């Protein structure tokens, strides 16, 4: 089924963001700890939603059930991403060179992910479930758009060079 492909993308993006995310707002270590502590439950929630959706999709017998499961997944992921974005925003700005840009990069990436999930949920909600073949073709298009949106929303860590933050992300247990 095509719906499984973006679910693995979700996990990959979550792991990439979390690896890049562990950095700082007051001092570098304090900011990194706050960001990583915020992103850890987000990663867990995204993973849990993905696993549940995959399990449910394997046993779903109707397009209506598939629609309900995908809608729940994307809405849950949107809500979890907004909670993570708000938590990272609360961490403030790291006291490092380009701290404002770094903080904005993290919150912007999470906002873009939130919006991508929201568009996917709306897209799924708007689909007719009959005929089944057409429904699943349209699900594939929603998933393809989610993948494209994800690629656009990923955090470009090459522009967020901070030795202090990188060390904090590498050393703090919260960031592993």
| pLDDT class of 50 with cuts at 50, 70, 90 | confident
Tokens at 115, concatenated: 């919006």
Q: What is the pLDDT of residue 160?
A: 63
- Whether residue 3 contacts residue 57, with contact meaning beta carbons closer than 8 Å, is answered with yes
- Whether residue 16 contacts residue 82, with contact meaning beta carbons closer than 8 Å, is answered with no
Give the span between the Cα atoms of 13 and 105, in whole angstroms: 15
| Tens of pLDDT, residues 19-45 | 344 433 479 999 999 999 999 999 899
Give the span between the Cα atoms of 104 and 22, in whole angstroms: 14
- Type and span of the H or E element at 145: helix 132-153
Give the span between the Cα atoms of 94 and 15, in whole angstroms: 21
Q: What is the pLDDT of residue 26?
A: 75
| pLDDT class of 10 with cuts at 50, 70, 90 | very low
| pLDDT class of 176 with cuts at 50, 70, 90 | confident
Give the span between the Cα atoms of 116 and 147, in whole angstroms: 9
> What DSSP string describes 45-64?
HHHHHHHHHHHHHHH--SHH
Q: Which of the residue ranges 34-43, 115-124, 154-163 would you say has the lowest mean pLDDT?
A: 154-163
Which pTM value belongs to this model? Answer: 0.80
Q: Which of the residue ranges 1-5, 135-139, 165-169 would you say has the lowest mean pLDDT?
A: 1-5
């Amino acid at each position: 089924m095509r719906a499984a492909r973006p679910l693995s993308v979700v996990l990959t993006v979550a792991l990439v963001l979390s690896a890049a995310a562990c950095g700082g707002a007051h001092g570098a270590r304090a900011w990194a700890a706050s960001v990583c502590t915020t992103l850890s439950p987000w990663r867990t929630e995204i993973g849990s939603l993905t696993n549940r959706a995959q399990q449910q999709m394997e046993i779903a017998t109707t397009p209506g059930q598939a629609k309900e499961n995908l809608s729940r997944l994307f809405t849950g992921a949107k809500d979890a991403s907004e909670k993570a974005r708000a938590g990272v925003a609360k961490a403030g700005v790291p006291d490092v060179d380009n701290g404002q840009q770094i903080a904005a990069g993290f919150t912007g990436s999470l906002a873009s992910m939130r919006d991508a999930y929201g568009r996917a949920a709306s897209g799924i909600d708007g689909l007719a479930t009959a005929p089944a073949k057409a429904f699943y073709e349209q699900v594939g298009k929603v998933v393809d758009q989610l993948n494209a949106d994800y690629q656009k929303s990923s955090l470009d860590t090459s522009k967020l060079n901070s030795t202090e933050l990188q060390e904090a992300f590498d050393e703090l247990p919260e960031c592993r």
